Amino acid sequence: MSSVAALGFDAIAPADAAWRSAACRRLDSLTKPLGALGGLETLAAQVCAIQQTLEPAIRHPVAVVFAGDHGVADRGVSAYPRAVTEQMVKNFLGGGAAISVLARLQRMELWVVDAGVDGECASHPRLIDAKMAHGTRDFVEQAAMPLAECEEALRRGRRVIGQVVPARGNTLLLGEMGIGNTAAAALLMHGLTGRPLADCVGRGTGLDDAGLARKRATLAAAAARRAPPADPVELLAEFGGYEIVMLVGALLAAAARRMLIIIDGFTVTVAAAAAARIEPNVIDYCVFGHCSAEQAHRTLLADLKARPLLDLGMRLGEGSGAAAALPLVHAALALFAEMATFAAAGVSEKSA
């Protein structure tokens, strides 16, 4: 079975339970009923455990969108034509996409990675050319990519982290773009969780009933060609997209650096699940920004025991759900740092 060591990646320690406990003790001393800040308390304690401090902070957050095309897209598994992947890369960099707006609003750097877009992306200071090929192969007929390519894509994902994270940067938001990639993600989820394929397939960007039926049939044909391999890297090679594989590499690299990683929607969550199959500790570093409207996302989050911060019926990808959730992390850390204790504020504690 693939492991970080076998792949030549750095080891990933678990988040620090002692710091988590210390954080919980501080939370219980603050002027509020025990646990009354709910998920914001869990979040603050998680960041303390990741950063090994009682002075947690978000420093130089960066959002990275990995983009790639999918051979299977030619089979009509998406409501949009394949050309949209390249067009949206331009839109991300031009400032007009949802993630562009949210990154600007939050004064966050936005990087775009051409992991395997079927087209030539014009160069741009925030575009990283990591193109593996002009889209994957059609996984109904053959593996999406050779195993060696998959391993190279993992390494390129790791390299991206080295390029985009500034010195002292400790927070990463991950997004993706790729027409057809919820189809790939569905097969990967099926392979990773063992759940019936039908439970893993959704409408993506907005397929109608006929489109959904076509997507289901297409994916069933792919799964019939080759049963999903148990090894996560073989599985990624078989059904993955280049953007998904690079996300896995980025996740492993960011967790090894003890970064806080904010996960976006279904496709990025599938990448997180694949990374966790390689090294379970990676999940300790992940905050799940939202639960998307893509039907399988809720199930997958539950399988990962993940509690998403938002549940707003978003289904856009690009990192938009992660970016929408970032202010909650800021809020959690500000509350942790700045609230008065019962003792300092002269507030009576619980009478019961």
Options 121-129, 205-213, 237-245, 269-277: segment touching its own copies (CB under 8 A): 205-213
| Binding region for its own copies (CB under 8 A) out of 18-26, 55-63, 85-93, 123-131 | 85-93
CB-based contact 90:83 (threshold 8 Å) = no
Residues near 240 by beta carbon (within 8 Å), at least 6 away in sequence: 136, 144, 145, 150, 184, 188, 274
Distance, in Å, from the CA atom of 156 to the CA atom of 322, rounded to the nearest integer, reads 22
Closest CB to its own copies among residues 80, 124:
80
The residue within the footprint of its own copies, chosen from 12, 23, 37, 64 (CB under 8 A), is 37
Residue that the structure tokens 């390029």 belong to = 163
- Nearest CA to 62 among 323, 324, 275? 323
* Known active-site residue 318: yes
Residues in 113-142 that interact with its own copies by CB under 8 A = none
Residue 302 binds to its own copies (criterion: CB under 8 A): no
299 contacts 24 by C-beta, under 8 angstroms: no
Gap between the Cα atoms of 173 and 324, Å rounded: 10
Torsion angle of C-alpha atoms 171, 318, 108, 338, degrees rounded to 10? -50
The reply to whether 217 sits near its own copies by the rule CB under 8 A is no
The number of beta carbons lying within 10 Å of the beta carbon of residue 52 is 15
Contact between 311 and its own copies by CB under 8 A: the answer reads yes
Return the range that interacts with its own copies (CB under 8 A); candidates 137-145, 182-190, 219-227, 330-338: 330-338
Which of 15, 165, 293, 301 contacts its own copies by CB under 8 A?
Answer: 293
**Nearest approach, Cβ of residue 122 and its own copies (Å):** 12
Query: Under the criterion CB under 8 A, does residue 298 sit at the interface with its own copies?
Result: no
d(CA 346, CA 350): 13
Encoding tokens for residue 44? 């603050």
212 binds its own copies (CB under 8 A): no
Where does this chain touch its own copies (CB under 8 A) — which range of 109-117, 132-140, 231-239, 316-324?
316-324
Residues classed as catalytic: 318
Instruction: Enumerate binding residues for its own copies (CB under 8 A).
Output: 31-40, 79-81, 83-84, 87-88, 90-91, 94-98, 100-102, 104-105, 205-208, 211, 293, 309-316, 320, 323-324, 327-328, 330-331, 334-335, 338-340, 344-352
